[in-house]
Chain A
Amino acid sequence: MQYEIKVNGKTQKVEAEPGTPLLWVLRDELDMTGTKFGCGVASCGACTVHLDGTPSRACQTFIEDAVDYDITTIEGAETKVAKAVQEAWREEDVVQCGYCQSGQIMSAIGLLTENPSPSEEDINSYMNGNACRCATYVRIKSAIKRASDKLEA
């Protein structure tokens, strides 16, 4: 079937079977590979995108539902918060293998957009669904705090 979805401000026509997760439409059809596949069952967060600004798991969003939203992926993360988060991530040198980091960053942008100065506990509960097998968590926390400081300055 043909669907029309709006990704990073651009409306695009895509061919997909009904029931196909947005994750695979982005990756295999639109060649937007920044959004990653880690589990396919909503338990790792590697596929996190924003639907109308809210972090959501692209592996759990069917293409027929995705048409209702403004979709933002890591490739289109351009808000002030997004820039602060990416800068902080680089200054802290958070990444190791990097595979989970698009998802981590999309979640962190969601967190700081909702809550510009999160406590340690806020970070722990908001970021809990984003797994990092390289265990870069120490730096994820410092980068979120650093981005929060940037946004407050």
Chain B
Amino acid sequence: MTATTLSRRHFLQASGAGAAALVIGLNAKGALAASTSASDINPFVRIEADGTVTAILKHFEMGQGTTTGLTTLIAEELDADWNKVAIEFAPADNSKYANLLFGMQGTGGSTAIANSYMQYRQAGAAARQLLIEAAAKMWKVPAADIRIENSILMNGNNKAHFGEFAAMAAKMPVPEKPAIKEPKDFRLIGKADLPRKDSHGKTDGTATFAIDVKVPGMVYAAIKRSPRFGGVVTSFDASDAKDVGGFLDAKTLPNNAGVVVFAKNTWAAFQARDALTVEWDFSKAESRSSDQISADMKTVIESPEFNTRKGITNAQSEEKLGMAAKVVEQSFDFPFLAHAPMEPVNCVIEPTENGVTVHDGCQFPALTQPVVAQVLGLKPEQVTINTVYAGGSFGRRANPTSDYHLEAAMAFALLGKSKAVKLVWSREDDIHGGYYRPVARHQAKIGVDKDGKILNWSHKIAAKSIMKGTSFEAFAVHDGVDHSSVEGIADSLYGLPEFAVGLSDVQTPVPTLWWRSVGHTHTAYAIESLMDMVASETGQDPIDLRLSLLDKSDTKQRRFAGVMEAARDKSGWKKGNKRGFAAHYSFNTYVAVVADISVQDDTVHVDEVHVAVDCGVAINPDVIRAQMEGGVGYALGAILHSEITLSDGEVDQTNFPDYPTLRINEMPKVNVHIVTSNEAPTGVGEPAVPPTGPAVANAIFAVTGKRITDLPMIKSGLSFS
């Protein structure tokens, strides 16, 4: 099968969606409704006449396990046969498929399961109730006497699959509040070894990613962007590009951000793009080196622009230092980081009768639709989105500017809007391309009395705001404070006295973006390293110190303490061990980590990481484990090796050889303990990242006496294997 046949349009034809017998989704009023056809309603679940159940997923899959998670919710309530439930990504439709926590369609912030938990269960439960009522009518038996097992309805000698009653069920009124299962009746939720829905296609090469999409007549495009962020094209010369076989044309993008090359295949597009000579205007571009940006940060951090904890300034907090027996004082420096998802960003825009189709591992349809529509003079609803698998994201694909969709739309328009265009980024484009985790600096002054009690905590942060100037500003910036710059510290669960957090925005044209766990990537490292410093300076056990700062009568603090105790007990932590501990609360999930390392001749190996996590009801325990393992590895790779630096405004790194990623030999064993909980489920994609780095840093301190505060860790003189 070629990639072409997998487009949504073809898929719908091939799967005979017209023959759907029962679909359950939201009607125009936002209430659950049933119909016989998916063309009346954008459903969450579809049941064909042959009994096939398809879960329609409003969230995309970047590896975090949503295809498995959302499908579990439908299959659980329907008592469907897990192995026979099919999946399909939902089309773009803000009114039906909004993320209930964002009010628009999109995936991010570890919210996919949290916002869908009741919605998808109710859709499954409604389908179940209607099918049972239809069967009761047909069999002339009480509904209460009908049960469902593995997609089969049963009563006495009567047995039939869903499809037999689907058409009848579709005409019955949908219960306003369908009865959902009691946790004790769960068969799939919490099941330890439920196989992932996306395993098969991703192990035989058939899973379709955007980069695999090919449509008839498609032209390939690559873009030469400014070597300095904020530069614009003044002129270009394509004479050498014309010698590249397969070259078609080169044009300046209408926003002057680069020159797009069109070619007959990806390789020719890359080659011809590299052969262009472009003149740039750098007058508004970032021309500083990263060392200069760091030096500037050291200045701006001294006088905070914002007090992010109301009622106390850094100066007021620091008045207590006079009474302290000891002062713990430390700064931390964090570099820009590229997300480097394994599949470089790319997408295909194809002309259709009514507008266009964007083929993409699309993370935020609600952002992409209007951006593409505006460039092409269409209405957002004329932009259809065919969501395919995304080869990782880590935040990169959700962008308020929809940068690569915007580029693809401009390229498609330049080509006359009549031919499909596939825009591909190379790895070099990705590493050079900006939208980095912002650089950040932290400085803290903590006073401690003679008994080891914390008297004050004065914390200052300088970071470039991610949200300011974007469409997310109203949502995330309050009183000038971009919450994502201070999250994880300003709202820490620790009960710290005289606790001030000052913030200064760093100004630079380098575009920044959320990177797996956003602000927590640096705030957790700082606060959890500082906790360790206070503990060691005052001779306290680092876990005991943290527990002493939590009040268990508060639910959140109790759950936070719970993961700390679980990690302590499961890892066999003993006071005085040479191990590292850190814990962090993010995305409504609690994670504690114990790291074990070995050190030989200044070479550190992280041997084993013990993770305790409380994410509410564990819907797919194995997916949670996988996300903890992956989160640990993703964090570790960055903490050990990664940084994006600039020389005279140009990015120094180019590709994996100089922006190294974690390799198999560096991966520790990961033991995951999931704390049993009946609370609502919360995110798991990001929360393992924040505590991993500081747990390793604290282990390195315990073993070597070295406190690493300037990242990545390779800068410390230690090496890692």
Contact = CB atoms under 8 A, between A and B. Distances in A.
A86 B204 contact: yes
Given A97-B389, A134-B63, A124 B665 contact: yes
A31 interface: yes
Contacts of A135: 629-630, 632-634, 636-637, 662, 667
Consensus secondary structure, chain B interface: loop
A130 interface: yes
A101 B202 CA distance: 7
A24 B394 CA distance: 26
Contact of A93 (B244, B427, B622, B663): B622
16 contacts: A24-B265, A24-B267, A40-B426, A75-B205, A77-B204, A97-B343, A97-B392, A101-B202, A131-B662, A132-B664, A133-B340, A133-B634, A134-B634, A135-B637, A137-B664, A139-B629
B205 A99 contact: no
Nearest to A121: B665
A151 interface: no
Given A34-B206, A39-B655, A136-B626, A96 B212 contact: no
B102 to A, nearest CB: 22
A130 B342 CA distance: 11
Nearest to A75: B205
Interface of A: 17, 20-21, 24, 27-29, 31-41, 43-44, 46, 73-75, 77, 86, 89-90, 93-102, 105, 123-125, 127-128, 130-141
Interface in B195-209: 195-196, 198-209
B403 to A, nearest CB: 19
A44 B431 CA distance: 14
B175 interface: no
B205 A28 contact: no
Nearest to B206: A34
A37 B64 contact: no
Given A34-B206, A95-B203, A97-B63, A28 B663 contact: no
A17 B245 contact: yes
A46 to B, nearest CB: 7
Given A34-B204, A43-B656, A98-B391, A134 B267 contact: no
B62 interface: yes
Contact of A34 (B199, B205, B636, B661): B205
A46 B205 contact: no
Contacts of A41: 427, 655-657
Contact of A99 (B266, B342, B622): B342
Contacts of B209: 33, 36, 99
Interface string B622-651: 100010011011101100000000000000
Contacts of A38: 342-344, 427, 656
Contacts of B208: 33
Contact of B626 (A29, A36, A77, A93): A93
Contacts of A90: 195, 199-200, 203
Interface of B: 2-3, 61-65, 195-196, 198-209, 211-212, 214, 220, 244-246, 265-268, 270, 340-344, 389-394, 426-427, 622, 626, 629-630, 632-634, 636-637, 655-657, 661-665, 667, 669-670
B630 A96 contact: yes
Contacts of A28: 214, 220, 265-267
Given A28-B220, A37-B344, A138-B670, A124 B664 contact: yes
Contacts of A98: 63, 198, 201-203, 207, 389, 391
Given A40-B426, A139-B629, A95 B655 contact: no
Contacts of B245: 17
B204 A133 contact: no
Contact of A96 (B2, B64, B195, B427): B64
A142 to B, nearest CB: 10
A135 B627 CA distance: 9
The 3 closest A-B pairs by CB, nearest first: A34-B205, A135-B633, A99-B391
A150 to B, nearest CB: 15
Contact of A97 (B220, B341, B670): B341
A95 B63 contact: yes
Contacts of A24: 265-267
Nearest to A41: B655
B326 to A, nearest CB: 39
A131 B203 contact: no
Contacts of B212: 27, 33
A141 B667 CA distance: 10
B266 A27 contact: yes
